[in-house]
């Protein structure tokens, strides 16, 4: 059995209320892989600090954002053209 600390995950319905989105939008983000969630039996559990990632944006202030999400800061700086 896995025990999770209270308050670290919430249901899709709770996440939708906090994010101001519909439940359907949350489920769509989960199924498209843009929102990290875990399915336990029939319930989706979402970490309370999870963010919905928009993978369609490839320019502007979002350049290299996927590198930050993956934790690769050197790749982020390289994509931005910043010499560290």
Instruction: Based on the fold, state whether residues 72 and 62 are members of the same structural domain.
Output: yes
Q: What pLDDT is stored for residue 2 in this prediction?
A: 65
Interacting residues of 37 by C-beta distance below 8 A, sequence separation 6+:
12, 30, 44, 45, 46, 47, 50
pLDDT digits (tens, 9 = 90+) for 36-61: 999 989 999 999 888 888 766 566 66
Is residue 40 within 8 Å of 34, Cβ to Cβ? Answer: no
Instruction: Based on the fold, state whether residues 49 and 23 are members of the same structural domain.
Output: yes
**Boundaries of domain holding 64:** 54-84
Instruction: Based on the fold, state whether residues 60 and 27 are members of the same structural domain.
Output: no
Instruction: Based on the fold, state whether residues 19 and 47 are members of the same structural domain.
Output: yes
pTM score, whole prediction: 0.60
80/35 Cα distance (integer angstroms) = 25
Instruction: Based on the fold, state whether residues 49 and 64 are members of the same structural domain.
Output: no
63/18 Cα distance (integer angstroms) = 27
Residue 1 included in any domain: no
46/82 Cα distance (integer angstroms) = 34
């Amino acid at each position: 059995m896995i025990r999770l600390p209270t308050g670290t995950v919430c249901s899709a319905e709770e996440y939708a209320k906090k994010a101001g989105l519909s439940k359907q939008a949350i489920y769509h983000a989960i199924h498209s892989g843009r929102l990290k969630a875990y399915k336990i039996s029939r319930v989706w559990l979402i970490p309370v600090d999870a963010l919905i990632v928009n993978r369609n944006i490839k320019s502007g202030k979002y350049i290299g954002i996927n590198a930050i999400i993956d934790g690769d800061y050197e790749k982020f700086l390289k994509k931005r053209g910043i010499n560290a």
